[in-house]
Each structure stands twice: as structure tokens, then as C-alpha cells.
């Protein structure tokens, strides 16, 4: 499932032309660094979440039964603005999430 989710997220990012320097899938959420304006962030997140949810649930309709829902993602998201100079540190942080969680 993780491979399919990454494939779908990669497709959405490429199709929409979003600037996503780093992301990491976790068992119950995704860490994603998105380079955009504050004004466009909600649109970007809604597109990534909406399109990926639709495509995953089309590919795996049985998930609807498992989740008792037609929604793959929670309705909200957490966002934090960072300075351009902090990008490398945030990319490193995102890349270490699975290790920190003991998943690798």
C-alpha cells in the first residue's frame, strides 16, 4: 500500500507542478515539505489529499469497508512556515522520520 500511495502522491505532485522537496509516508500520516505561498497552501493540500484519496480508493475499494469511510485522509492538516535557510534541516528531519519511529 505504501508503494502505491507514494506512486499516487508522486503523480499528483508532477501533474500539478507542485514544488515538494521532500515527503515521507508514515503508517497514519505523511510529512510533506511544500514550497508555496501561504495563500496557495490550502489549495495545494486539498488537491494532493483529494486526488490521492480518490485514486487510492479507486484502486483499493475494499479500504472503504476497512475504514468505514469514503475518506482516506483526515479533514485537516498541520502547517508550519520555515525560512529558506532551514530547508536542508527540514529535508533531513523528514528523511529521518521512519528511523525515529522505529519503522526501518
Is the CATH number 1.10.3720.10 carried by domain 2-100?
no
3-class SS of residue 91: helix
- Structure confidence at residue 101 (pLDDT): 95
Question: What is the average pLDDT across 76-99?
Answer: 95
Which stretch of DSSP H or E encloses residue 15?
helix 2-16
pTM beyond 0.85: yes
d(CA 67, CA 12): 23
Alpha-carbon gap, residue 52 to 45, rounded angstroms: 11
* Res. 15: pLDDT tops 80: yes
Q: How far apart are CA 31 and CA 34, in angstroms?
A: 10
Domain regions of the chain by residue span: 2-100
pLDDT category of residue 65 using cuts at 50, 70 and 90: confident
C-alpha distance from residue 36 to each of 41, 42, 82 (Å)? 6, 10, 11
In the chain, % of residues over pLDDT 90: 80
Amino acid at each position: 500500500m505504501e508503494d502505491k500511495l507514494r506512486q499516487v502522491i508522486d503523480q499528483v505532485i508532477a501533474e500539478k507542478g507542485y514544488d515538494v522537496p521532500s515527503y515521507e509516508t508514515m503508517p497514519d500520516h505523511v510529512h510533506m515539505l511544500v514550497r508555496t505561498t501561504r495563500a496557495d497552501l490550502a489549495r495545494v493540500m486539498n488537491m494532493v489529499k483529494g486526488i490521492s484519496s480518490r485514486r487510492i480508493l479507486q484502486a483499493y475499494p475494499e479500504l472503504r469497508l476497512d475504514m468505514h469511510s469514503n475518506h482516506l485522509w483526515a479533514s485537516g492538516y498541520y502547517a508550519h512556515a520555515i525560512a529558506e535557510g532551514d530547508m536542508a534541516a527540514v529535508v533531513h528531519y523528514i528523511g529521518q522520520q521512519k528511523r525515529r519511529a522505529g519503522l526501518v
